[in-house]
Amino acid sequence: MTIKLYDYQNTLVEKARQSYRDGYQSPCVVAPCGAGKSVIIAEIARMTAKNRKHILFLVHRRELIDQIKNTFEFVGVDLSKVTFGMVQTIVRRLDRIEKPDLIITDENHHGLANSYRKIYDYFSDVKRLGFTATPIRLNGSGLGDVNDVLIEEVDAEWLIENNYLSPYKYYAPKLIHTENLKLNSMKEFSNSSIDKEMKNMIYGDVIKHYRELADGEQAIAYCHSVEASKRTAQAFNDAGIPTAHIDGKTPKNERNDIIQAFRDREIQILCNVDLIGEGFDVPDCSTVIMLRPTQSLSLFIQQAMRGMRYRQNKTSIIIDHVDNVSKHGLPDTPREWSLKGKKKQASEQETSIRQCEQCFAAYDPKQSDRCPLCGFKPEVKEIAGYEVDTAAELEEVDKELFSITMNYKEPEDCKSMEELYELAEHRGYKKGWAFYQGKALNLI
């Protein structure tokens, strides 16, 4: 059977087809979470298979294969023309699979990994098509090495305004305790004191805030480890709130039973680490509880928007106990994507030099895990569990104010004292901080 796509979905399909007519070989379609990416993929696959061309469909997790197969069958794709495979498996069988006419990569931001590139290089003359909500890698690099054009049509803000995604309220910690921070020579809070203040901290009583902000709503909680997820589930259960934990090692039948119980509303909270993320199919829920800080914009967006599937009169609740919003912005913050990615600020550059604790020689830890002069190997310490500041309070993020301050997250981004004062207010700093920054930047 065929299905009727929304106008913007049809536009993305046509833009992808036009890109090949324009001479591009590896376009990447950027579709926000909730835009119906799987349906768009399936429609392109249907038309390709109808033309008797073979498709290689790449995923990075086994669970995603069954889901996309179901969508393909629903849309009417001739599955005899499709090879589905995990990239880890395909890369070992390159000489044993039928050469495709088109390679489709789901969650295309993984495409820079060596395993994907080995497949692309092996089939170097085959056209490719990628799909992602966030065309950027964790380290900020763009996809220019594997794609030659980005195809966009709508963003998350448009999807909310036009009732394809639900509106949301976002709750995050009040700003960190600035009285504990120290100023450096530039009159800015030092990185070391910020790290100490923010290190391994979960802000706010998780049970209390759930009851205050989303009592009775079904929620997915993202934790930083399997053990933390299990402890969180136990805490909710002890509070009389039916909760279950699942992870990658949960037997498939047991996991299916838990998800069905969640669908039947026998379970209110579903705890996990990163399992319920890219493409993972779970029933509709309204609430997300973030207990896991992340450097990945892609992971943040996948998790934050998990509860934003549209339903009439629904408002999604996002409870961010780890202040991910300060780093990544809001789910519908406008973002300009580029194949070049983003340049790191000087403050973000990672040093590649380590000083030996024994002989004090300097060396590159990327080249060796031990000192090349004396042979000393530094101890690798496990990250400790997260502390919980139960006294901390979360407050609703003012979207208008936040959107202003996100345009200049660092002092050097500000072009006037007015912007510096707004940045100071957003951070909870005193006006004197803005004054010192203004003098350093010659704005006074």
What is the strand order of the sheet 219-223 is part of?
Answer: 243-245, 269-272, 219-223, 287-291, 316-320, 168-173, 394-396
The 10s digit of each residue's pLDDT in 366-386 is 556 666 666 666 654 333 456
**pTM of the complete model:** 0.76
User: Which parts of 234-377 are beta strand (E)?
Assistant: 243-245, 269-272, 287-291, 316-320, 354-355, 362-363
Residues 179-207 pLDDT 10s: 454 555 444 444 454 445 444 567 789 99
- Average pLDDT value for residue range 277-302: 84
Q: Are 271 and 230 in contact (CB under 8 A)?
A: yes
Segment holding 114, helix H or strand E: helix 114-122
When pLDDT is averaged across residues 276-292 and rounded to a whole number, the result is: 82
Are 57 and 104 within 8 A, CB to CB? Answer: yes
Cα–Cα distance measured from residue 391 to residue 67, given in angstroms and rounded to the nearest whole number: 42
Rounded to the nearest integer, the mean pLDDT of the chain is: 84
Q: Which of 51-65, 124-138, 335-349, 383-397 has the lowest mean pLDDT?
A: 335-349
Over residues 52-81, the mean pLDDT reads 91
Residues 293/323, Cβ–Cβ less than 8 Å = yes
Q: What angle do CA 148, 11, 62 make, to 5 degrees?
A: 65
Domains belonging to the chain, first-starting first, are 7-159 (3.40.50.300), 166-328 (3.40.50.300), 398-440 (no CATH)
Q: Which residue has the higher pLDDT, 422 or 104?
A: 104
Identify whether the C-beta of residue 26 lies closer than 8 Å to the C-beta of residue 129.
yes
Which burial class, exposed, middle or buried, applies to 69 when counting CB atoms under 10 A from its CB (0-12, 13-18, 19+)?
Answer: middle
* Tokens representing residue 387 in the block: 């502390």
